[in-house]
Amino acid sequence: MTYATVSGRRNWMSYLMDSLVNSGTMPSWEALQYLVTNLLGQAPNPHLHQTKSPYETIQEFLHRIYGPIVEAASRTVDLPPQAMIHMFTDISLLGKSAVLVVYFPGKNEPHQLLLLDSVPAWDLVFENSSEFDSWAEERYRWIVNALQSLGHPVEHSLLECSTDIQPILA
């Protein structure tokens, strides 16, 4: 899976849609509807609390949004074969939920916290996809920088994307 870019910037909305489709989570039309409904518009996002199980819906939402960002960052940095990166969520229906990304180097070495993001899930709504792209790019960079600080080289070919790739979403 590659990043689609517009004017040299990554199109994270397209990347998330690709991730949802390629993982078999949902077909393309449903993935597009899911992302637009849950990420674009005015806060608060009523879709997360109007379900029968808001805790599970918020957890699923955060994994669908942060998961591809974490995956992209972990593929950008050359990690040892025994290393793993895990994402954890602590869901709050009233306050801020927490998203933690942890690096496990393997061989019983101490693990490292790469990202701790405190998010009121129902306020994770953006005016447009460009605003979301900036938000996602920031988290991606935080994770890549944290991995770099652990001494893992970055594959520059993945950081620099061609500007002639067209986005999936218009």
Domains of the chain: 4-159 (1.10.3100)
Question: Who contacts 67 (Cβ-Cβ below 8 Å, separation ≥6)?
Answer: 19, 87
Distances in Å between the alpha carbon of 60 and those of 57, 102, 123, 136, 155? 5, 18, 16, 17, 30
Model pLDDT, residue 4: 46
Rg of the chain in Å (alpha carbons):
16
What pTM does this model have? Answer: 0.83
**Which DSSP letter does residue 154 get?**
B
**Which DSSP letter does residue 23 get?**
T
Helices (H), the chain: 12-22, 28-39, 54-76, 129-149, 156-159
Q: How far apart are CA 10 and CA 43, in angstroms?
A: 24
Q: Over its length of 170 residues, how does the chain's per-residue pLDDT go in tens digits?
A: 544 443 345 799 999 999 999 999 999 999 999 999 999 998 888 888 788 899 999 999 999 999 999 999 999 998 899 999 999 999 998 899 999 999 999 888 899 999 999 999 989 999 999 999 999 999 999 999 999 998 766 655 444 444 444 444 43
Distances in Å between the alpha carbon of 137 and those of 1, 25, 29, 47, 104? 16, 23, 24, 24, 23
Q: Would you say 4 and 163 are in contact if contact means Cβ atoms under 8 Å apart?
A: no
End-to-end Cα distance, the chain: 18
Sheet arrangement for strand 112-119: 84-90, 97-104, 112-119
**Burial profile 97-118: b = 16 or more Cβ within 10 angstroms, e = fewer:** bebebebebeeeeeeeebbebe
